[in-house]
A and B are shown apart, each in its own frame.
Chain A
Amino acid sequence: MDALDAVLLARLQFAFTIGVHIVFPAFTIGLASYLAVLEGLWLWTGDDRYIDGFRYWLKIFALTFGMGVVSGIVMTYQFGTNWSVFSDKAGPVVGPLMGYEVLSAFFLEAGFLGIMLFGMKKVGRGLHFAATLIVAAGTLFSAFWILSVNSWMQTPAGHGIDAAGRFVPEDWWAIVFNPSFPYRLVHMVLAAYLSTAFIVGAVGAFHLLREHTNGAARIMFSNAMWMAALVAPLQLVAGDLHGLNTLEHQPAKIAAIEGHWESRAGAPLYLFGLPDMQAERTDYALAVPHLGSLILTHEWEGEVPGLSDFAAEDRPYAPLIFWTFRMMVGIGLAMIAVGLWSLWLRWKGRLYDDRRLLRTVLLMGPAGLVALLAGWITTEAGRQPWTVYGLLRTVDSASPIAAPAVASSLAVLVVVYVVVFGAGIYYLLHMMGIRPHHGEEGPHRGTPVRSAGITPEASLAERGATP
């Protein structure tokens, strides 16, 4: 029992630290691309409102990037502290992939962030735009490696197992591009874009509610609504394809998400229900006939799996992921609705005038991040009881560390994270509360910014040139 508690605490610790961490890189990925779009539009149209928006979000980007780096350092070490058996066994496969993530992130920090943040006057517009594009590509490259690691744990491929029980890489191409990787990468990048769009949209809406004619706020709001109208439906398609892939490779996860116990043809979709792991049934189910099969197999009478097909010790915990999945999908559908609403108002020429839409979008500011977290809980808790799916159990992956040690480190991390990232989020919200204005300035020169990178001389070099 004691060992189980230590494992559960280690899982909670991982869930907590990665849950805090993922918010920052997701926002960073989306914002980096958005900044590239804003700068591109500015260069193309010469409209200064775009560069005002660029400089406004650049300051927020700098702080977000810094917090992503800080919270990420803990993650690497946690593989060793709490999951040492996993590190020993899976290290030869996942270690080098994460090594590439670290190297590419630092390469970026070293070279291009400083230019992007502070170097506009120094290097000229063209080169500066190139730096912005490279930073945006670099954040995607980081995501590429990390999602490859995660996907390999979900759908392992390209490896052998040696005498010591270690996973040994045999075909790196098959490891990196494992079966669930392309779907997960697309789904996650779109999620990062949508999360960012709704934050940008909420900030735009907030300032439009106070100053109806604010140019930069209008651009933010309009861009965000285009994203909701175009990318949210695209995400629905990507999510559907990802679901089909999961059905193929991790049917137990799908059964738990659906709350299905018996495999059957023409299965219903439960809109509501309380899966009961002991009684092996889903109580208070509100069912739509055949819809489950239709969604999962794209056929009216399609065969879908049930949890009873799997041994009790191989089942993920359905009561959790049944609901996190519905939360994610519900928010996704709400995003599509907002997108359609905005299209209608845009067509009527009243996009900025309807205060109900502005208020709704303001309320939905954190919705994307909530959906993203719910989605990650679904896929990660749905991977249980395995760390490497079907091959290495979670209980066999943990460190030989007693529960009190894991509990105290969890407590310490919670306190530190609340203070540090609480302050960071406070500073971020404070920056978002400042009204965007014409002649917006970039990040305050001369203020140490972590994300100024490991060669931030650009931040100082330019100061001499400005009054």
Chain B
Amino acid sequence: MTGFAFDLPTVWALLVAFAVLTYVLLDGFDLGVGLLFPWIGDGEERDLAMNSIAPVWDGNETWLVLGGGGLFAVFPLAFAIVMPALYAPLIAMLTGLIFRGVAFEFRWRGERGRPWWDRGFFLGSLAATLAQGIALGALVQGIEVEGRAYAGGWWDWATPFSLLTAIALVVGYALLGATWLVMKTEGRLHDRALAAARPLAFATLASIAAVSAWTAFLDPVYMQRWLAWPALLYSAPMPIATGLAGWLLIQGLAAGRDVRPFLAAQSIFVLCFVGLGIGFYPYILPHDVTIHDAAAPDSSLIFLLVGAAVLIPLILAYTAHAYWVFRGKVDPRAGYH
């Protein structure tokens, strides 16, 4: 190893973290639209909400597979410990995503089935979000490891803390969904989303404060990491930056701005993710398994890095292109259906 820049496990940890963050930012808002579905008027409004995410949601979910597949390929030990530890939430997430994925397509195939697939869309989004929130909580609170395997029971993930993170993520994704609809739609759906976004913004900020405070007392290591030098340099501005983003969000909503609330909400997610990363590093499973413990041998890491270096920028470029093509408000007449 010739230093940080060429340390393959670190490079891959950044890549996998990037895939997971991209997933949260992108699928977060379309899962959020699903979470808001029961409060969106039947008929035209729902069609419009669907149309606003139809062109991009599949690409958004791609990042989950890249993150999960990447974890298997380059950090097989972490994959082997996390998956059994999160057994039930993962099954719930996968079935939720299946339902929601096909509901998207099947709801257009006939009037008769549509109310059922709409319900599937909401419940699938809810199950997937709750499961992801629980997974986050379970990871942060720590997983019992013995040797090279998960050593806990199959209900260990169910704690008051993981319940809190699950609710926090539902609130947060709903906020992303609401601000997305504010940005992308007009008329009654826009007004409805705007009305929902305000309380969701406050609830999200409160949840972040609650989760952060609880995390600091959960394991003193987190506190030490956040307050240690030089990490303090990065972690100290985090609450300030989050507060600023929160102010921009609430102020933007009050001023009836279209784009700013969405970007502010996304920044809040980025800041939280970075804060989490500082608390984790150099562990991949706090505080048992480090990035280096979990990494596959360099021969595996290099082999896949070649392909990833070529294909991930291409996928990013395509994705950016898709968002560019679909920029602006969704035209209710020209959308899907």
Contacts and interface: CB of A to CB of B under 8 A. Distances in A.
Interface of A: 63, 66-67, 70-71, 73-74, 76-77, 79-81, 84-85, 87-88, 90-93, 95-96, 98-100, 102-104, 106-107, 109-111, 162, 164, 166, 168-170, 172, 399-402, 405, 409, 412-413, 416, 420, 423-424, 427, 446-450, 452-457, 460-461, 463-464
B91 interface: yes
B300 A93 contact: yes
B73 A91 contact: yes
Contact of A87 (B50, B80, B307, B318): B80
A439 B40 CA distance: 39
Given A79-B72, A400-B151, A405-B87, A91 B80 contact: yes
Contacts of B314: 107, 110-111
B101 A450 contact: yes
Q: Which of B72, B82, B321, B336 has the most CB of A within 10 A?
A: B72
Interface of B: 50, 54-56, 58-59, 62, 64-66, 68-70, 72-74, 76-77, 79-84, 87-88, 90-91, 94-95, 97-99, 101-102, 104-106, 108-109, 113, 148-151, 154, 296-297, 299-300, 303-304, 307-308, 311-312, 314-315, 318-319, 321-322, 325-326, 334-337
A110 B150 contact: no
Given A73-B65, A107-B311, A448 B90 contact: no
Nearest to B308: A103
B238 to A, nearest CB: 31
A81 B90 contact: yes
A81 B84 contact: yes
Q: Which of B62, B76, B154, B337 has the most CB of A within 10 A?
A: B76
A193 to B, nearest CB: 27
A402 B154 contact: yes
17 contacts: A70-B98, A81-B84, A84-B150, A96-B300, A98-B69, A99-B308, A103-B307, A106-B62, A110-B59, A110-B315, A110-B319, A399-B84, A399-B150, A401-B84, A416-B99, A448-B54, A448-B336
Nearest to B95: A416
B258 to A, nearest CB: 21
Given A87-B79, A450-B101, A450-B104, A456 B297 contact: no
A447 B108 CA distance: 7
Contact of B80 (A85, A402, A405): A85
Contacts of B88: 405, 409
A89 B65 CA distance: 21
Given A87-B76, A91-B72, A110-B315, 8 more contacts: A76-B69, A81-B83, A84-B149, A87-B79, A91-B77, A423-B106, A456-B55, A456-B322
A200 B22 CA distance: 41
A109 B57 CA distance: 13
B72 A454 contact: no
A399 B149 CA distance: 8
Contacts of B97: 73
A76 B68 contact: yes
Interface of B is mostly: helix
Contact of A96 (B68, B99, B303, B336): B303
Contacts of A427: 106, 109
B50 to A, nearest CB: 7
Given A84-B83, A106-B66, A454 B322 contact: yes
A76 B300 contact: no
Given A102-B69, A405-B88, A164 B148 contact: yes
Contact of A76 (B56, B65, B296): B65
B106 A400 contact: no
Contacts of A87: 72, 76, 79-80, 83
Contacts of A103: 66, 307-308, 311-312
Contacts of B321: 455, 457
B154 A401 contact: yes
A100 B307 contact: yes
